[in-house]
Amino acid sequence: MEAFDTNVVPVRWEGNWKSGVLHMLDQRLLPGEETWYSMTTAEEVAKGIKDMVIRGAPAIGIAAAYGVAFGVRAAGASFKSGTAEAEALFELLKNTRPTAVNLFWALNRMQALLVETDAMDHNARVDRLFEEAKAIMDEDRANNLAMGKFGADLMPDGARILTHCNTGGLATGGYGTALGVIRATNAAGKLKHVWVDETRPYLQGARLTAWECMKDDLPSTLITDNMAGYFMQQGQVDAVIVGTDRVAANGDVANKIGTYSLAVLCKHHGIPFYVAAPISTIDLDTPTGAEIEIEQRSAREVTHIKDVGIAPEGVNVAHPAFDVTPAELVTGIVTEAGVASAPYGASLAGLTYSPQ
Ligand code: MRU
């Protein structure tokens, strides 16, 4: 078996500042097909994020950072921060997906570096920007490894853990957030089983998490989302852990649609409900979950599975891609700096980004 924590990554950087290429795995085609695209422009990266070639909060941020470097490379030596040209580049990358704060976090970091390097020689500057994008990716992976250890400590021996959506290597710089905790629990010899929610309608659980679990020989079973309550009632779930796209300052958690229902089920059954989040996903500028923009996605993702229609033509469809779980339902938020717990206002405010 290949080492688990290195074999699943969503992007690979190859080359130097001048001609380097970002290879991006097309997650829309998994698990059937492993197709990699070679991207060299900010426009291609923005389209890749928008069209879900790449998805998952930290992975979107990593891709956007590379997008900035590509944009500056293409613009040439006349590119300066604070100009209409710079604004257009950031708008292009921002207007891709609204909910995951990691996108904006990574863009802010690249923006600060642009200002700092305005006087630098163009070639050296582009090199520095690519270096920063790579650092964002490497730090994310290292943070996930640290988070994994803190999360694994929370799990009982023989843990049967339920998870939702895909939070693994594919969604991050590697290893994963919630799936990273599950990996670390397995490495600690404490994992008995993973219940993988299929995650309707986009099926990130069935297509991606089940694939990652099988690649790494994690004992796992795929279930449809509406089976979670059944297995909890049967006493077969010891903990739930999910990732998140944005944690508000008060501890409210936005994550893939269906997460809130799981948290409510956990409360009823007395099961701990954990969230794994790098500090880059904690948004202290958003006071509560009510202020988080929820992405509304296409009706076709609900009415069709691949190209097969499963609903009457013309039916009314709603498709909020995320929901918000109130802080009071969250047992703990596992970060790379430790586990935050209620009252979240104080515990989250005490965390600062500290790459591991
Ligand atoms: O729509 P997606 O697939 O980008 O949604 C992903 C999720 O909701 C994940 O749970 C979240 O980004 C955390 S990933 C580490």
According to the model, what pLDDT value does residue 5 have?
43
DSSP string of 203-244?
Answer: THIIIIIHHHHHHTT--EEEE-GGGHHHHHHTT--SEEEE--
Characterise 191 by phi-psi region: left (phi > 0), alpha (psi -120 to 50), beta (else): beta
**Residue 247: closest CA among 238, 239, 259:** 259
The single residue listed with the structure tokens 């948004």 is 283
Q: Measuring CA to CA, which residue among 7, 15, 11, 13 is closest to residue 49?
A: 11
Nearest to 163 by CA among 231, 77, 76: 231
pLDDT at 7: 67
pLDDT of residue 355: 81
Structural domains in the chain? 11-142 (1.20.120.420), 147-349 (3.40.50.10470)
Residue 11 forms beta bridges with which residues?
24
Q: Residue 97 in contact with residue 295, Cβ under 8 Å?
A: yes
247, with CB counted inside 10 A (0-12, 13-18, 19+), is buried
Q: Which H helix or E strand runs over 309?
A: strand 308-309
| Residue in the block written with tokens 């590509």 | 70
Give pLDDT tens digits for 127-146.
999 999 999 999 999 999 99
Distance 121 CA to ligand 1 centre (A): 38
- Looking at residue 201, its pLDDT comes to 98
- How far the first Cα of the chain sits from its last, in Å, is 27
Pocket perturbation via mutation, ligand 1, pick of 162, 167, 242, 336 by most ligand atoms within 8 A of CB: 167
Cis, peptide link before residue 58, omega less than 30° from 0:
no
- For 339-350, b/e burial (b = at least 16 CB within 10 A) is bbeeebeebbee
Residue 197 among the catalytic residues: no
333 beta partners: 275, 340
Catalytic residue among 197, 216, 238, 245: 245
- What is the pLDDT at residue 11? 96
User: Which residue numbers in the chain have pLDDT < 50?
Assistant: 1-6
Q: How far apart are CA 185 and CA 176, in angstroms?
A: 13
**What is residue 13's predicted lDDT score, i.e. its pLDDT?**
95
d(CA 119, CA 77): 10
* Ligand 1, residues at Cβ distance < 6 Å: 55-58, 100, 165, 167, 171-172, 177, 204, 243-245, 255-256, 321
pLDDT for 352: 86
User: What's the pTM value of the predicted model, to 2 decimals?
Assistant: 0.97
pLDDT value for 353: 86
Ligand 1: which residue has its CA nearest to atom 15? 167
Residue 163: the pLDDT is 99
Task: Tell me the pLDDT tens digit for each residue of 152-199.
Answer: 999 999 999 999 999 999 999 999 999 999 999 999 999 999 999 999
Q: Residue 150 has what pLDDT?
A: 98
